[in-house]
Amino acid sequence: MTDLSTGAAWMGGAILPIADAAIPVTDWGLTHSDIAYDVVPVWQGAFFRLDDYVARFIASLTVGRYDIGMDHAAICAALTDMVRASGLQDAYVAMVAARGRNPAAGSRDPRDCANHFYAWCVPYVHIVKPEVAAQGTSVWIAKTVRRIPADSVNPRVKNYHWGDFTSGLFEAKENGYETTLLLDHDGHVTEGPGFNVFAVFGDRVVTSDHGVLHGITRRTVLEICAEAGLTPETRPLPLDEFLNADEVFLSSSGGGVIPVARVDDRYFSNGTAGPVATDLRARYFDWIMRDDLRTPVTKALAGR
């Protein structure tokens, strides 16, 4: 039996080791970063908000004009079969639509491309190590690059256009910070590589409503804030206002709520994880175990 414990992929109906998964070198997904994708977490043997993640993925396909020939149920089935085969109980599960190859040599017409779906899973990814998140991570505001404008690349469609994020990450790492956060061209806070960002002002929690992915974890955090008696606000968030927050935290499907102790030379909560963010982090991991939001991998398979 093939060992899939380090990761598996679903390609063309076949499940294979992730190390063997590949797409052709002429696929527009590779040559043009012409891809839409999404990531759903599996935690202790169950998908979290699977239907919500797949619904958002399908919405991205509609906006990006991808036709993969699979509906919601078929996508869920592919993800379920793959994760079940891997045996992973905690996993990072990606679903991907690529533009595909253009059979007409030299054609620049995207309508000629054969769009296709594939998926892959690996052991659960924390974008910030749990021990670092528990103490509060560090974030660098990128100085040499701004977020790609929304009228150039739609940030609500999760995509592989990471040139701006990668430049910011080089800056962050070279300055001794864990990750980076990008501003838009008006000086408003947007997002970072794989996360949304929130600022706490008393009992108000503010996150950007533009230039960002409207992530499922972002939605979950807004719902958790309401449950906790906080008032969520989604609106433009200028950098000066952001740096005057009481606390700052990130949200990601790779780790839930992640407290921030430092942004550039500004320290929050005396350089530690703040109490609001710490509470929301605990609540997130309670929510990820809620029966009404979980789809056990074995149950999803049996229900087909």
pLDDT digits (tens, 9 = 90+) for 11-47: 999 999 999 999 999 999 999 999 999 999 999 999 9
What mean pLDDT value characterizes the chain?
A: 96
Non-local (6+) Cβ contacts of 111 within 8 A are none
What's the confidence (pLDDT) of residue 13?
A: 95
Question: What's the confidence (pLDDT) of residue 105?
Answer: 78
Give me the pLDDT at residue 299, please. 59
Domain with CATH 3.20.10.10 in the chain: 130-287
* pLDDT score recorded for residue 106: 79
d(CA 15, CA 30): 21
Decide if pLDDT at 302 tops 80.
no
Burial grade of 145 (CB within 10 A; 0-12, 13-18, 19 or more): middle
- With bands split at pLDDT 50, 70 and 90, how would you rate the model's confidence at 197? very high
For the full predicted model, state whether its pTM sits above 0.85. Answer: yes
Residue 2: pLDDT band with limits 50, 70, 90: confident
Residue 254 pLDDT exceeds 50 = yes
Q: List every span in the chain annotated with CATH 3.30.470.10.
A: 8-125
pLDDT tens, position by position, 113-154: 999 999 999 999 999 999 999 999 999 999 999 999 999 999
CA dist., res. 162 & res. 175, Å (int): 20
Q: How many CA atoms lie within 13 A of 173 on its CB side?
A: 6
Domain spanning 130-287 has what CATH number? Answer: 3.20.10.10
Q: Which stretches of the chain are DSSP H helices?
A: 28-31, 50-64, 72-86, 130-135, 163-174, 216-227, 239-243, 275-287, 297-302
pLDDT at 298: 86
Residue 115: predicted pLDDT? 98
What is the per-residue pLDDT for 248?
98
Q: Name the pLDDT band for 267 (thresholds 50, 70, 90).
A: very high
pLDDT 10s digits, 205-220: 999 999 999 999 999 9
CATH number of 8-125: 3.30.470.10
